[in-house]
Amino acid sequence: MRTSLGRYLALAIIVVEPVYSQQIWDIWQTTWDRSKLFTSVAPSSPINFVTPGPIGSADIVINDGAKFQSIAGFGATLTDTSALMLNNLKARNSGNYQNVLNYMFSPTDGANAAGLNYIRVPIGASDFSAGLYSLDDVNGDTSFSNFNINKTPSYVFSVLRDIQSKNNLLKIHLVPWSPPGWMKDSGTMNGGSLKSQYVGNYATYLLKAVQGFQSQGFPVYAISIQNEPQHSNPTYPTCLMTPDVEGQIGSALRSLLNANSLSSVKVVGYEHNWDTAASYPVQLMNSYGNAFEGAAFHCYAGSVRNQDIFHNAFPSKSIYFTECAGTIGSDWWSDIKWYMDNLWIGSLEHFSQAGLMWNIAADGNGNPKLPGTSSCGGPGCRPLVTVNSDGSYSFNQEFYPMAQASKAIIPKDPAGPFGQRIGVSVGGSIGWALRVGAYVTGRSSSSEWLRYSIVVMNWNDNASSGWNPQPVSTTIQFRGMQAKYTFPVGVTTLWWFAPSNSNVARGLHNATMPDVVEIN
């Protein structure tokens, strides 16, 4: 009897052990020296989680019991300029155009692609348009009989449709840079404020913009009331807007959306810098919170930590990070360190559900811009991808770290959920050398193993005392098991699969291991 029981237990161990073991097969990397640029470096044999031993120089501890916000995605703004440059690329070199869109937007599991899925689109002209226009420029047309969604350049819709064909998970976030000029005290889209008598009319204008995009085949995920409402500039579309005025517009718009079968469209407030996170968006939510899903932030002033002020005041409200621009001529690796620390790890760490840069595309000088604008002065603003007049292109430091972050949270399954931030801490003698974000991605079937991913920046480059980039030997702790990996200086995204804790508790009777995708 004892012998038979021993054989039974041995057999049980043999059967169960592979189910309980987790393995790292998938690794993507961008290194400081550009030797790897969002490159798959999958190991020839898996990295196993095993019985813990001594910790490494850094020790990453995953706490999947601590769950935070779900991530809506990553992307940038499809300005008129971005759409024009991509449309020109399509005309000059259609193969390169398709390559750019696939590399940026394809969400296919295992693809050599970033899976970007969140696009902000201006309503009317911005500082990156060929000229000033709104969707109804007829003075006093409060009935909006002259409203025309096709005032938007046709190439915006054409390129957006092509992007949509690459990624059916696309989220479109509309935002105006200014109301029509006839609604403003400046008489122009450039600078000034909305006249108080047009608050209700402007809400109707924004409703019609949503309906217009829907009629073109683009479901709208969210709409903001005003881009940078604390900024007025006489050289490009801008509009000062107090929290009270924005709140009135948002409340009216929320009612109109609900009454027109558009209750799923989120209304987002603020859309401005971190520095006034404790005032403007807090006042907005205090007085008009029922109308707003949450607030959006930009990077141009203040600290990303200020997102916590808003989150702590309104923990049930969503936070979106929607704009930051690179500067042409700045240092490649220094930029990536800042982006990861403040945006693609940092903003999510401070409760953002989305991460966006400014222009998707522009030329090598950050052009074309609105004639006469002072926006993006000096050396110019750099886009995710530079498109050249000869039909060539190059991706910039704004793209690669974002791609690394996006890869960690895009759905594993075609119709599955996006990733959710979970708890993580870093210890060890040089734990300071790593910045880490951790995520879990659910599955379409409850029987499938969950995907656990980490995005790790090793910034141990000794830049302040010369230059001596050093890899960091690291242990990764997960559910009482340990894996080892040495992170080069750069950004690394890796993942493994494991059953949900509920499946572990049930003895894994229904859990199945995922298919392993190898990328050559």
Last residue of a domain, one of 408, 424, 449: 408
- CB 363 within 8 Å of CB 392: no
The answer as to whether 502 is a domain residue is yes
Same domain, 401 and 435: no
CATH code assigned at 489: 2.60.40.1180
- CB 444 within 8 Å of CB 512: no
d(CA 471, CA 29): 13
Last residue of a domain, one of 357, 381, 408: 408
The answer as to whether 519 is a domain residue is no
Same domain, 47 and 139: no
* Phi, psi angle pair for 403, to nearest 5°: -60, -40
Same domain, 78 and 62: no
- CB 285 within 8 Å of CB 313: yes
d(CA 215, CA 367): 30
Same domain, 329 and 426: no
DSSP category for residue 391: S
The reported pLDDT for the residue numbered 31 is 98
Last residue of a domain, one of 408, 443, 467: 408
The answer as to whether 309 is a domain residue is yes
Same domain, 349 and 427: no
The reported pLDDT for the residue numbered 9 is 39
The answer as to whether 12 is a domain residue is no
Same domain, 236 and 368: yes
The answer as to whether 253 is a domain residue is yes
Q: Tell me how crowded residue 164 is: count the other CB atoms within 10 A of its CB.
A: 18
Q: Where are the alpha helices (DSSP H) in 1-149?
A: 2-20, 80-92, 94-105
What lies within 8 Å, CB to CB, of 491 at 6+ separation is 29, 30, 336, 340, 400, 401, 404, 455, 456, 457, 458
Same domain, 394 and 464: no
Same domain, 342 and 472: no
Tell me how many domains the chain contains.
2
User: How confident is the prediction along the chain (520 residues), in pLDDT tens digits per residue?
Assistant: 333 434 333 433 333 334 446 999 999 999 999 999 999 999 999 999 999 999 999 999 999 999 999 999 999 999 999 999 999 999 999 999 999 999 999 999 989 999 999 999 999 999 999 999 999 999 999 999 999 999 999 999 999 999 999 999 999 999 999 999 999 999 999 999 999 999 999 999 999 999 999 999 999 999 999 999 999 999 999 999 999 999 999 999 999 999 999 999 999 999 999 999 999 999 999 999 999 999 999 999 999 999 999 999 999 999 999 999 999 999 999 999 999 999 999 999 999 999 999 999 999 999 999 999 999 999 999 999 999 999 999 999 999 999 999 999 999 999 899 999 999 999 999 999 999 999 999 999 999 999 999 999 999 999 988 999 999 999 999 999 999 999 999 999 999 999 997 555 444 434 455 554 444 3
d(CA 86, CA 359): 11
- CB 476 within 8 Å of CB 60: yes
- CB 481 within 8 Å of CB 487: no
Closest CA to 82 of 153, 174, 135: 153
Same domain, 264 and 375: yes
The answer as to whether 331 is a domain residue is yes
The parent domain of residue 295 ranges over 73-408
Q: Where are the alpha helices (DSSP H) in 260-378?
A: 280-288, 307-313, 332-339, 346-349
The reported pLDDT for the residue numbered 507 is 42
The sign of the CA dihedral 99, 103, 107, 110 is positive
Same domain, 93 and 66: no
The reported pLDDT for the residue numbered 502 is 56
d(CA 419, CA 452): 9
First-residue to last-residue Cα distance in the chain: 51
The reported pLDDT for the residue numbered 91 is 98
CATH code assigned at 302: 3.20.20.80
The answer as to whether 18 is a domain residue is no
d(CA 207, CA 254): 9
Q: What is the Rg, in whole angstroms, of the alpha carbon atoms belonging to the chain?
A: 24
Buried b (16+ CB within 10 A) or exposed e, 16-52: eeeeeebbbbbbbbbbbeeebebebebeeebbebeee
The answer as to whether 448 is a domain residue is yes
Same domain, 353 and 495: no
CA angle in degrees (0–180, nearest 5) for 116-122-125: 140
Same domain, 488 and 377: no
